[in-house]
Amino acid sequence: MKAIKDIKYYEMLNKLRKDLINNLNLSFTGSSPPEIFIGEFNYPNVYTGILSPAVHNDSSSILSSPEEWFKARLTEKEILLNRASLIYSRFTSNIKQSSRLLSTMQEVSMAKKPVDIDFELKKKPSFAFKLDSFHKPIFNPAPLAKAVPEGNTQIEKRVDCMVSDYGMKANDAVIDLYTNGISISNINRILSAGLLGIKNKRKLVPTKWSITCVDDIISKNLIEKIKQYPWINNYFVFNSEYLGNHYEILLMPRQFGFEVIEAKYNPNPKLISFWQDSESHLGRKSYASSVTGAYYANRIAISSYLDSIRRQASILVLREVKNYEIPCGVGILREATKYAMNKNPSSFNNISSAFNDMKSRLSIPISMFLEKSILLREISSQKTLQQF
């Protein structure tokens, strides 16, 4: 990670932090978006807590939700300003330990709308960043002494049902919530808080892990259904761009397979970095350690689309990264992929025409992507990569 003073927008964020600290009392009432964060450092004894602004805000969900960020097309700067306005009121907990603070955090995790909470801090927040490609930026950690929700927390009926079911496995509960319209961000929060699964197996799950876990569980379930559907009847190209992340997505008429190839743009082709992970019709048996969390975020968005049209395809995802300097979590990549799949695709009757369309929007030669592809090597009908 870069030193704090090397981070883009450092001066702006530092001024915001100073203003926040100067006007902050150790006791305050804030509206959690709702959002919690559970770290992975020193597992199984981890930092966990609640994020909120230092004021009442009925619209605080925009501070936390990748779905809302993408819908509003917030810029990198706007996202960071939103995130920097949140205080991470935290405490240390064992992943299976019960406490009053933990119960409050779990109550917040189930909420369907912002929750007003009376906080009491042990001391004011430190100026610290936690930037990670998996989760949203975390700022302003402060040791928490006490947290008490005001009034009754509103919880979706289906969420309450799954949390109260101590006999259902966590995987099944995740799929049930998704099937019943609960957002992926909300499911991730509930799983992370240790509220799903068999009673004696429930435990806190670090946010970084739960994000990928939820994407993986849901997409695997969708893929098993997709494998039973007929193939698409043509080559389809989808694309989107957000915060310097450009996606080209190719669906091919053959049995299910999935591959993500990412590249960091550099004007010098010799300095372009690539990451690649894939799976065949048989699926993955190990973690996608090159592309990491983005692999699963892309996979759930595309498998959801295929399930909605009841068709099967082999999928090639190309991600070209240009100006994405401050990671804002895989949630924005999931939303960018969903947006691409919701657009009308370009249709082609051969793979060559599809590649020609894709390369017209890429800055990196498409041949550099294709030569990394394992999935394409398995397609016996493809032409030689040198033609592209």
* CA angle (297, 226, 228) in 5-degree steps: 160
First to last CA, the chain: 37
Contacts 24+ apart (CB under 8 A), 187-193: 187/214, 188/214, 189/34, 189/35, 189/36, 189/109, 190/109, 190/110, 190/159, 190/162, 190/163, 192/36, 192/38, 192/109, 193/36, 193/38, 193/105, 193/106, 193/109, 193/110
Listed by start position, the domains of the chain span 4-149, 157-221, 235-387
Q: Band of the pLDDT at 380, cuts 50, 70, 90?
A: low
Query: d(Cα 286, Cα 251) in Å, to the nearest integer?
Result: 24
Q: What percent of the chain has pLDDT over 90?
A: 84
* pLDDT for 22: 85
How far, in Å, are 23, 218, 293 from residue 317 at the CA level? 47, 19, 14
Q: Return the minimum-mean-pLDDT range out of 80-94, 117-131, 265-279, 370-384.
A: 370-384
How would you class 124 by CB atoms within 10 Å of its CB: exposed for 0-12, middle for 13-18, buried for 19 or more? middle
Confidence check: pLDDT of 384 > 60? no
Confidence check: pLDDT of 206 > 50? yes
* pLDDT for 7: 65
Encode 244-262: b = buried (16+ Cβ within 10 Å), e = exposed: ebbbbbbbbbbebbbbbbb
The secondary structure element, H or E, covering residue 222 is helix 207-226
Check residues 386 and 226 and name the one with the higher pLDDT. Answer: 226
DSSP state for residue 33 in the 8-state scheme: -
> Residue type for 386, please?
Q
* pLDDT for 383: 47
Bond from prior residue into 34 cis (ω within 30 degrees of 0): yes
